[in-house]
A and B are shown apart, each in its own frame.
Chain A
Amino acid sequence: MILTEVAPVWIRICLILVLVSGGFLLSSRSMSNLVRTYQFQSFLLVLIALGLCILEGHITLLLVAVLTLVSKVWGIPACIRLIQERIHIQQDLKFSYLRPPGALMLSILIILLVYVCFAQILESLYAASSLFFLGSVIGVSLVLMGLLAVCIRRMAISKVIGYLSMENGVLAFGLFVTELPFFIEFVIIIDLIILVLLTSIMTVGIDSSIEEYKTRLQEFHLLSEEGGIS
């Protein structure tokens, strides 16, 4: 079947694009771009799951793909957009500890490090040229890049999206390394839903805080110190 020959190629392309989207998550400055990047990443995972399903023939992978499609490509971004409407903040310009170019450099080093570690420790089990080895390296690298995103971003919503991409990384890892029972996927989804709901409730309190605007207005002498508009 032509699909079984094309599948490894398309899986490899999708894996690289997944890492690139991880890079975008680290450096993107606009909130809507961030959410769109996350959607794109989840969609790539759906494609990867489909490709693996064609390669191996497990039906559970198909179910995983559908579930990911529904929840991560449609559901969670919809939730986050709802939150964004309440927050009215369009940009996330501030970074702590590391700016995007440095963060991207660090992610390249991370990917190298993960590859070297896994190659040494797992050589008995997987030939280093296997698709599964590649998938596991990329899965763990994506988790670490998501962690980097959680660390260097300031706004809580961006941190949540970093966490979501970490979960994507775990999913990618799980897809490649083994055939997990289906309910694992379910478990992850529940976890995500709870987490997103909770942090969204809390971040509305934090991110839309009026204090930032007050200091900005004060800087431009539009707001006098006592709080009235001058």
Chain B
Amino acid sequence: MIAVLYPVVALGILLLQLLLRRHRSLTLLGVIHPVISLIITLYLIVSPGIWDDSPFFLIDHISLFVMLITSIIFAAAALYAVGYIDGLVRSGDLEKRSLRIFYFGFSFLLAATTMAIFTPNIALFWICAELTTVLSAVLIAILALRATIDASLKYIFICSTSMLFSFIGIIFLFEAVRNKTGVGSLLWTEIVDEAAGLDSGMVFIAFVFFFIGFAAKSGIVPFHTWLPEAHAKAPSAVSAVLSGAILNIGMYGILRMTGIMKETGVFGQVSVLLIIFAMITMSVACLSMLKQKKLKTLIAFSSIENMGFIMLGIGIGSPVALFWALFHMLSHSCIKAGLFFSAGILHRQYKVPTRTGEDEIGDLFLLQPFAAITLMAGCAALIGMPLFPLFLSKVGILLAATEVSVWIPAIVLLLFACAGVALIRFYLSVMAVWFPAGEGPVPYKAPLSMKFPVILLLIISIMIGTVMIPGEEAFLAAAVADLGFGVQL
């Protein structure tokens, strides 16, 4: 019954946030919530015996894994927000009365994400995913500028309309199960059990419709058009949460659904569908990265590319590929969040309104040495440098891909090269800008609360990238097995 603590704590924190007034107390609550979630998650991970005690929660390896990623990112973002939001309020970008909305939305978003991950019922999963869309849209639009409201509305429309298709897919799945057993079921576990004899036409349509919605949520091409704008216009803390936690919800849905499809006869077609979309996504994302001039948009496209890569791993379908896909989820979230935090520090520094409307970054190492170094580390991590974990997962998935076709790793490597070039080119271009003496902006002292999460995430990434934590391999392998992809490594 430990899992009941999740909603109880969430409810308590939300109530307190409605009642309390002072900024400090709101921020404190905002940090406490994800930290408590993280503690509960870690406790559940190390005590597998009590998983079956909670009837309303689907606790197995995969959901705990995704929850772990989510709570780490949310905790880091909440810590970062302490300094970032403070800065926004001080510079007048954010109004005081929006503060409560921000923190309330933030905690509610964490609660909704938790519910989405742990609910055993597909329909509740769907509604929680919709809730996360709505809440993150509120957070994106918190600055109440015309551009942010536009980006936020675009996000809501694209994701919500695609989720409706997902709902149709759920209804198809329900009907397919009902045709087989006489009583339909909406529970993940029951559907997996019944999946073997389902009518293949109907179940394939169900998958296609379901895929549309959650692909939109994860930023798969052609449903990705909301992503660059939303990430670029939102405050950095929110962008980090979006990239690091909310995109994973889409992948989680696709993962579970693929697990169901594995039992039916159409897994081959499903696999082909996933791989095709993954390749298209990565191509579009990497090629778009080449012409981006703004930092956050660049990072956003990199998110799309990584999500495509995770889907490639899922599509390949072998246990190895899935293992590394899950690993990639974790590492990508940590690194991306770190990158967004650094970008946020840079934004606070350089956000003098300019002619072009974008931040002109210059005198980088002079003004913000910390952010400059972390940005460099983050870019190196994204490209796939060996110390960082993305290297491992990329190698793993590409090796697994050779079993499907040797062209896939070839093209993907080329695309990764494009992405790498784009990142390096951007970095070099901003490194080399010097303001004439006296014209540069005033140096911005980033508070410790903004620097600490970046360092923390970098340390976690390096740790994951170099050392296999004891039990991690077994845990991930068990997660893969939970999804139904069985064979141990």
Contact = CB atoms under 8 A, between A and B. Distances in A.
A–B in direct contact per CB < 8 Å = yes
Interface of A: 120-122, 124-125, 139-140, 143, 146-147, 150, 156, 159, 163, 166-167, 169-170, 173-174, 177-181, 183-184, 187-188, 190-191, 194-195, 198-199, 202-203, 205-206, 209
A166 B137 contact: no
Contact of B156 (A147, A166, A198): A198
A163 B150 CA distance: 17
B224 to A, nearest CB: 16
A82 to B, nearest CB: 19
A167 B141 CA distance: 24
B87 interface: no
B44 interface: no
B160 A163 contact: yes
B175 to A, nearest CB: 4
B476 interface: no
A56 to B, nearest CB: 14
Contacts of B160: 163, 195
A143 B164 contact: yes
Interface stretch (B199-207, B270-278, B349-357): B199-207
Contacts of B199: 124-125
Contact of A206 (B134, B153, B171, B201): B153
Nearest to B172: A177
B441 interface: no
Contacts of A199: 153, 156
Nearest to B131: A194
A194 B163 CA distance: 15
Interface string B141-169: 10010100110110011001100110110
Contacts of A156: 153
Contacts, number: 89
13 contacts: A121-B202, A143-B165, A163-B160, A167-B164, A177-B175, A178-B184, A180-B184, A181-B186, A187-B123, A194-B130, A195-B130, A195-B160, A198-B156
A159 B201 CA distance: 33
Given A170-B171, A180-B174, A199-B156, 13 more contacts: A122-B202, A139-B168, A140-B168, A159-B157, A166-B164, A167-B164, A173-B168, A174-B171, A177-B175, A179-B178, A191-B130, A195-B160, A198-B134
Contacts of A150: 157, 161
Given A122-B202, A194-B134, A198-B137, A178 B156 contact: no
B202 A125 contact: yes
A209 to B, nearest CB: 7
B160 to A, nearest CB: 6
Contacts of A190: 127
Nearest to B175: A178
Contacts of B179: 125
Nearest to B176: A125
Contacts of B335: none
Contact of B168 (A143, A163, A183): A143
Contact of B150 (A167, A170, A173, A206): A206
A115 to B, nearest CB: 14
A148 to B, nearest CB: 11
Q: How big is the B interface, by class?
A: 35 or more
A195 B161 CA distance: 11
Those 9 A-B pairs whose CB atoms lie nearest each other, nearest first: A121-B201, A178-B175, A187-B127, A166-B164, A177-B175, A191-B130, A202-B149, A174-B171, A194-B134
A177 B171 contact: yes
Given A143-B164, A187-B127, A180 B171 contact: yes
A140 B161 CA distance: 13
Given A121-B205, A143-B165, A166-B164, A206 B156 contact: no
**Most chain B CB neighbours (cut-off 10 Å) among A140, A163, A180:** A180
A173 B171 contact: yes
Contacts of B174: 178, 180
B229 to A, nearest CB: 15
Contacts of A163: 157, 160-161, 164
B138 interface: yes
Contacts of B123: 183-184, 187
Given A159-B157, A199-B156, A206-B153, A170 B172 contact: no
A199 B156 CA distance: 8
Given A124-B201, A170-B167, A178-B184, A205 B161 contact: no
Contacts of B165: 143
B149 A166 contact: no
A193 to B, nearest CB: 11
B202 A166 contact: no
Interface in B232-260: none
A20 to B, nearest CB: 21
A167 B201 CA distance: 24
A202 B202 contact: no
Contacts of A125: 179, 199, 202
Given A122-B202, A150-B161, A178 B149 contact: no
A205 B168 CA distance: 32
B42 to A, nearest CB: 32
Contacts of A203: 153
Contacts of B204: 121
Nearest to A140: B168
Contacts of B164: 143, 163, 166-167, 169-170
A195 B134 contact: yes
